[in-house]
Structure 1
Amino acid sequence: MTPRVLPGIMAMAAIVVASNILVQFLFGQWLTWGAFTYPLAFLVTDVMNRVYGPGPARKVVLAGFVVGIACSLIGTQIHGEFGPLVTLRIALASGTAFLTAQLLDVAIFDRLRGGKWWRAPLASSLLGSSLDTALFFTLAFSASLVFLEPGNDVSWANEALPLLGAGPMVPLWVSLAVADWMVKLALALLALVPFRALVARLSAQPA
């Protein structure tokens, strides 16, 4: 079983590492480059789930979680202009969001696997991505959860600004979350193309 899912584990690890690096670089006003690589984790999970089942898919998710923890630990030791690159809140938010959302993705996909080919990956990715965004940004930046790390100043993320620069007044982190969520939804749709191609290729390989 392990040799078959090893490519999935390697792909997941690469996505997690790349996303942790690219999240440091801005793309426009509301996003980072990591927003475009991280959603690919759901593609990897769904392909593994379709081809090998929920058990191996969960192993891939757990491998990604471990790699994410390692990245967070490294980030806490690297100090930038405003302190460590990864704070305790961000590490907690990242790990919680990843593991919870990915396991939800696996469960939903498995429940819907008997329907049309696109139904399971689309529904699981959409719901998993939505939960991921909600958990991460709330845990990492909400002023109501400042007790998670009292020494971490998140006042910058709670500055009231128009939603995405044009909507009602909301904390900055809400605009960041909405922009991130919109990218995840778009990529969930686009990922159906490589999903079908990868599933066909892996399913054709000898067991």
Structure 2
Amino acid sequence: MIPAETDSISFRRLLLPVLAMAAIVLLSNVLVQYPITDWLTWGAFSYPITYFVTDVCNRWAGPRLARRVAWAGFVTGAIASVSVALGQDDPAFGLRIAGASGTAFIVSQLLDVAIFNRLRRQSWWKAPLWGSAIASTVDTAIFFSLAFAGTGFDWKLLAAGDLGVKLLMAAALLVPFRALVRRLAPTG
């Protein structure tokens, strides 16, 4: 079932998804600073949950709400990233990271919404899996190329590890997606 799009989206309907998105974006901004190995940070595990939030919103209330939630996450991430960047020893590099992060986030989130919406009438798992997988790939490509290309930092292994975890998380999050969507399904 595709939810009806309305001209106005109530504050009540937006509040929980926006708070969830903001919390995950902030958590990911912190966790990305903690490496697990030379090729992986803790942020790779939390960041894919942003696609989960967007996908649940898309299934529950349609692409318009999902896009608004994505933009709320973008604003939260931008404020956090710029604040951190300005407090670093090299604020120019920090701002480069913030710009790469923000660009990758909003492009990939809006892509996820579009792919999900296009696949929403197919098997329940196709829209969230393909939307998240493709968006994660685009996010990784945009972020790492904008953040590190030409810096001399060997980022390719870190990008591969990051993408690998994002893809595994996209598959793992199908279980809670299915359970939550069933709970949120309209009755009657």
After TM superposition, list the pairs within 5 Å mapping 1:30-41 onto structure 2.
30-41=39-50
Query: What displacement does 1:28 show?
Result: 1.4
SS in structure 1 at match of 2:133: helix
After TM superposition, list the pairs within 5 Å mapping 1:1-207 onto structure 2.
1=9, 2-79=11-88, 83-84=90-91, 87-143=94-150, 154-155=151-152, 157=153, 172-204=154-186
Would you tell me which structure has more strand in proportion to its own residues? 1
Structure 2 counterpart of 1:4, which letter? R
Relative contact order higher in (CA < 8 Å, ≥ 6 apart)? 2
Equivalenced residue count is 179
Q: Partners in 1 of 2:134 and 2:60 — Cα distance?
A: 21
Contact 1:126 1:185 in 2 (8 A): yes
Larger Cα Rg: Structure 1 or Structure 2? 1
Contact 1:75 1:85 in 2 (8 A): no
TM-score (norm 1): 0.82
Q: Partners in 1 of 2:92 and 2:56 — Cα distance?
A: 32
Q: Partners in 2 of 1:85 and 1:184 — Cα distance?
A: 28
Provide structure 1 residue ranges, at least 5 long, that are not aligned to the other structure: 144-153, 158-171
Query: What displacement does 1:177 show?
Result: 0.6
Contact 1:129 1:184 in 2 (8 A): yes
Contact 1:78 1:85 in 2 (8 A): no
Q: Partners in 1 of 2:176 and 2:186 — Cα distance?
A: 15
Structure 1 runs (4+) deviating above 3 angstroms are 82-86
Structure 2 counterpart of 1:202, which letter? L
Q: Partners in 2 of 1:29 and 1:141 — Cα distance?
A: 15
* Residue deviations 1:114-160 (CA, integer Å, cap 9, x gap): 011001101100100000000000000011xxxxxxxxxx22x1xxx
Q: Percent identity, please.
A: 53
CA 1:86–1:65 in structure 2 vs 1: closer, same or farther (change >3 Å)?
A: farther
Contact 1:51 1:202 in 2 (8 A): yes
